[in-house]
Structure formats: C-alpha cells, structure tokens
Amino acid sequence: MAGIAIIGDAVSVAGFRPLGLATFSVERPEDARAYWAQVAGGEYAVVFVTEPVYEVIADLVAETADRPVPAVTVIPGVGSRGGVGGAKLERAIERALGTKMPVKEEES
C-alpha cells in the first residue's frame, strides 16, 4: 500500500504525524536531499514538501515529474510566504489553457 509523506521543518510537519503521514523532519531545507531517494522510490504515492524544501530540491522533483508516483505537492511551511505553490498552479493553468489567466485581486 502506497503511503503519504511530508518533508519539511519540524514545526511544519509535526501536525501531520497524528494523521498517519510519514514525516521527514529537516533542520535545513538542504537536508531534504538525503531523504528524496527514499520518498521517491515508490513507497509513497503522495509527497508533500514545504516551500523552503521545494526551492532546494526542485531539480530532484523535476526528475520524477513524468512518473506516476509520487505526486508531489508544494505546501507553505511555517513562516513561508506561499508564493511557490501559487506560481506552480499558475504555470499549470497556463500550460492547460495555452494562455495566462488574469487573476482578480480581492478587495479588502
């Protein structure tokens, strides 16, 4: 049975352990490279990575993009701005539609 894993700083991943996810806590985003072979090897169908980790392992994630597993999802980490996930979503929409979609900003 394929599981779900998350890689990120200790605070960001702590809440996922009680939900049954395999958690890989790293002190520095660069440390995630050491775990990548394990999480991308087929044991996990879905891998969540925090944005700071993704910025460091984007090249490794790209190598698995054409494989059915793992599906990699970028999530904000504690204190991160949330820009990487939004940018990836915009690029996916642009590829699917063949054009950029204007984004209406919500009024405060």
Domains of the chain: 3-97 (3.40.50.10580)
pTM (two decimals): 0.76
Which pLDDT score is estimated for 86? Answer: 66
Q: Which amino acid is at 4?
A: I
Nearest to 2 by CA among 67, 76, 88, 62: 67
Task: Write the pLDDT tens digit of every residue in 70-96.
Answer: 999 888 887 776 677 667 667 777 777
Q: Count CB neighbours of 54 within 10 A.
A: 25
Task: Write the pLDDT tens digit of every residue in 12-56.
Answer: 999 999 999 999 999 999 999 999 999 999 899 999 999 999 999
Which pLDDT score is estimated for 108? Answer: 56
